[in-house]
Amino acid sequence: MEMMEESKGKDGLVLPDKASLYLTAIEDADYKDEKIEFWNSVYGFDMSCIRKQAIMEPLVDTVDQKQIVTNCQLLKTMDISKMASGDASFTVPFKLVAERDDYIHALVAYFDVSFTKCHKLMGFSTGPRSRGTHWKQTVLYLEEGLTLCQGEAVVGSMTVAPNKKNPRDVDIMLKYSVNGRRCFVSTTQQYRMR
């Protein structure tokens, strides 16, 4: 009995033990108009100060896979069983290439998890091309819509860190640029996920 208890303490498992973070870009004009641009004129009143707050809050929602305009890029894979507290902060580069001519209104983050310590490899995805989960996807609306032609790219980096005042909140910074035929932009946006 003593050996079992001792072994249990040393050989505990964290499940799932692997997580991968992905990013893609979507066209979402209707929702952005309804929920974000709405604040520019609320029954004739300029309430654009609320628009600034609304766009800074990521939306957790289900994205229709038909909205996806770019490739889905793996940003980071984490071994959850070996993570230290500082590992929750990171900056990763991305390059999202348009698969068709379209507008981009938001970037979408999602994760896949794996149970690699099981007798049979198991896992699931929270991505828009997978069966829905209650985690859905995280939608980061852009200040201005982007116009991309097929083959053009949104290039940048994403920084993720626990908020200093409330470590349960997550601060996200997107730096991105497009140098295309119809769109030229280079900017930074801040988000706070509560």
Rounded Cα distance between 82 and 180, Å, is: 41
Report pTM: 0.89
Long-range contacts, stretch 122-130, CB < 8 angstroms, 24+ apart: 123/16, 123/18, 127/22, 127/72, 128/24, 128/26, 128/62, 128/63, 128/64, 128/65, 128/67, 128/68, 129/65, 129/68, 129/72
Burial 39-53 (b: 16+ CB within 10 A, else e): beeeeeeeeeeebee
Evaluated on CA atoms 134, 39, 52, 183, the torsion sign reads positive
pLDDT of residue 10: 63
pLDDT of residue 12: 79
Closest CA to 136 of 97, 100, 108: 108
* Residue found by looking up tokens 């305009």 in the block: 69
pLDDT of residue 86: 86
Q: Which residues contact 129 (CB under 8 A, 6 or more apart)?
A: 65, 68, 72
Rounded Cα distance between 7 and 109, Å, is: 38
Rounded Cα distance between 1 and 77, Å, is: 38
Say which DSSP state 38 is in. G
Angle at 138 between CA 140 and CA 38, to 5 degrees: 50
Where the chain has pLDDT below 70, the residues are 1-10
pLDDT of residue 29: 92
pLDDT of residue 6: 38
pLDDT of residue 117: 83
**Residue 63, burial from CB neighbour count under 10 angstroms (0-12, 13-18, 19+):** buried
pLDDT of residue 2: 41
